[in-house]
Amino acid sequence: MVLGVGVDAVEVARIRRAVDRWGEAFLNRVYTPVELARASGRDGPARLAVRFAAKEAVMKALGYGWGRVRFRDIEVTRDPGGRPQARLYGAAARLAEQAGVVAVHLSLSHTRGYAVAVAVAEGRREAGDR
C-alpha cells in the first residue's frame, strides 16, 4: 500500500556551487562516506545532485521535511541488482517505522544539468486492502 510519494529536482550547478563554497563541511553534512565514494570522477557533481534530490524526495514521501530528518539519515545506494535504494537511519528510520513504512522505492535520473528523483513509501497491506 502506498503511504506517500515524493519528487524532487535539483540543478547540478547548484550542488557544484555548494561544494565549491562550503567544501567538506557541505559534503559531510549531506552525504555519507558510502555516497561520497560513489560520487568520484567526471560525473561526480551529477551523482551528488541526484542523491541530494533522492534524499529530499524520500523526506517528502515520509511526510517530513529536513527540519525533522537529517540528510545523512538517508543513504542512497544501489542494491546488488543495481537498482537505487534508500537506507534509513536515525530520525528517518524512527519516523518511517512509526508511520508503518516497510520499504522506500526510488527512481533516479540525471543529465549534465539536472537531477530528478521519485520516492514511494510503501506500507504494510492490511486485510481487505486492494
pLDDT at 128: 56
Sign of CA dihedral 77, 21, 25, 61: negative
- Name residue 78's beta-bridge partners: 84
Domain span at 61 = 2-123
Q: What is the total count of domains within the chain?
A: 1
Asked whether residue 128 is domain-assigned, the answer is no
Residue 23: CATH number of its domain: 3.90.470.20
Task: Check residue 128 and give left, alpha or beta (phi > 0: left; psi -120 to 50: alpha).
Answer: left
Average confidence score pLDDT of the chain? 93
* pLDDT confidence bin for 81, thresholds 50/70/90: very high
Asked whether residue 81 is domain-assigned, the answer is yes
Asked whether residue 42 is domain-assigned, the answer is yes
| pLDDT single digits (tens) 14-30 | 999 999 999 999 999 99
Asked whether residue 130 is domain-assigned, the answer is no
Per-residue H/E/C for 19-61: HHHHHHHHHHHHCCHHHHHHCCCCCHHHHHHHHHHHHHHHHHH
Query: Is the pLDDT at 3 greater than 60, yes or no?
Result: yes
* pLDDT confidence bin for 130, thresholds 50/70/90: low
| pLDDT single digits (tens) 110-123 | 998 999 999 999 99
